[in-house]
Amino acid sequence: MHEEGNTRPLASKAPLAEVGCAVFDAPAPVGPIWLAWVPAGLAVLHFGPDAPEADRARFWPEGEGLAPGDVPPALRARLTRYFDGEDEDPADWPVRIGGTAFQGRAWKALRRVPRGDVRTYAGLARDVGSPRAMRAIGMAMNANPVAIAVPCHRIVGAGRTLGGFGGGPDRKRFLLELEGARVDGDRVLMGQLDLL
């Protein structure tokens, strides 16, 4: 499956650079994030200063041999607004990602979870029409090539526990709190949930 664009209208009129990659220095505990893009949108957003070669080859084949450059101004502005705590929802950013049909449905459903809200694995499984597929939802989150833009940090475990996150619990807690969710230890507090 090849997924073009995102599930919401694009807000930016400024296109991304043709094809490129760069490192954006986010505040701690997030730290540097490696970005890769094509004209349709982000293809990889990886925690750390470089993406594993397997991710580059799978999710960004157009970038073979390209050296890191500068983050396009429109994308830099969005990242800066987001990490400054402004009303910027990364689920609105354009993405170009590919995966299985199930992963595509899970990622689209996740991009509909609003900033400041969370969803359980079971809730997202129901959203995609597979109510018993909690484990498959977890696997789809683990395979997500564009963390933050496909906001897998908004998925929590049963009982409102933080659950897993490829970027680690400190990053997950930071991102949720940045977006307005209240977190106490390893639990997201009531009043911040979309757990229908």
For tokens 């396009």, name the residue. Answer: 72
Q: Kindly report the CA angle at 121 between 196 and 133, in degrees rounded to 5? A: 110
For tokens 């990886």, name the residue. Answer: 46
Catalytic residue among 152, 155, 181, 188: 152
- Do the Cβ atoms of 85 and 93 come closer than 8 Å? no
| Residue 21 known to be catalytic | no
State the virtual CA torsion across 189, 26, 171, 67 in degrees, nearest 10.
Answer: 140
Which DSSP letter does residue 95 get? B
Q: Tell me if residue 52 falls in helix, strand or coil.
A: coil
185 HSE (CA, 13 A, CB side): 3
In angstroms, the CA 84 to CA 56 distance is 28
In angstroms, the CA 67 to CA 70 distance is 10
Catalytic residue set: 152
